[in-house]
Amino acid sequence: MGEGMGRRELIGKGGALVPAAGAAALLAAALAPEPASADGTVRAPIPLPGTWAVTVTIPDLPDFPPEPGLFAFGRDGLLTGTGGASKVVGFGTWKATGAATFAVDYRHFVISDDGKVTGTVRVAQTGTLASPDKLTMAGEAAQVDNDGNVVVTFRATSVGERYGFGPAGLG
């Protein structure tokens, strides 16, 4: 044989390095900062997922008192929300836009006193996590009738606190 390493020895030693190289690649990917997408949003997860008790205020509609609500932000970007006085459930999506900022887009039905769906409310807001357990959101909403006509537009704000079991992120 010669003084050099034989093919079998080379393959044997190289095979031992493959798991270590794979582990190093995975670790490097996990520790690398998430790049922004083409539209400038940050793809890294923020500690928003969980359940939140919120108070929604509509300053443009003085006859509409602040309303309690519940929001559930999923790790998959889905958003579910409910309002107290309006007794509706809304559905939408959210995305991170920075380390502690996010945007939401959701809709809920408008229900008349006799139980008929008379339209939808479309909401687009941006939010900030003031801490892992406190959020604020503000943005625009539009009530649209069943024919697609805008009935009214208004500003809406929400403040909320996380609730649930365990540390932040598990609620």
pLDDT tens sequence across 93-113: 999 999 899 999 999 998 888
Residues 6+ away with beta carbon under 8 Å from 107: 90, 91, 92, 120, 121, 122, 123
What would the mean pLDDT of 113-126 be, rounded to a whole number? 93
Give the per-residue pLDDT at 85: 62
Q: What is the pTM of this model?
A: 0.69
Beta bridge partners of 160: 54, 135
Up-side HSE of residue 98: CA atoms within 13 Å toward CB?
A: 7
pLDDT confidence band for 84 (50 / 70 / 90): low
Give the per-residue pLDDT at 152: 93
Domain 50-163 in this protein, CATH class: mainly beta
Give the pLDDT confidence of 11-33 residue by residue, as tens digits: 444 444 333 333 333 323 333 33
Higher local confidence (pLDDT), 164 or 82: 82
Give the per-residue pLDDT at 36: 45
- Provide the residue ranges of all domains of the chain, joining segments of one domain with +: 1-32, 50-163
Q: Is the dihedral of CA 14, 17, 22, 28 positive or negative?
A: negative
Residue 131 CB coordination number (10 Å): 11
Burial per residue of 17-55, b for 16 or more beta-carbon CB atoms within 10 angstroms, e otherwise: eeeeeeeeeeeeeeeeeeeeeeeeebeeebbbbbbbebe
Is the separation of the CB atoms in 66 and 59 below 8 Å?
no
**Coil, strand or helix at 53:** strand
Q: Residue 2 above 60 pLDDT?
A: no
Q: Residue 115 above 90 pLDDT?
A: no
Phi, psi of 146 (to 5 degrees): -65, -15
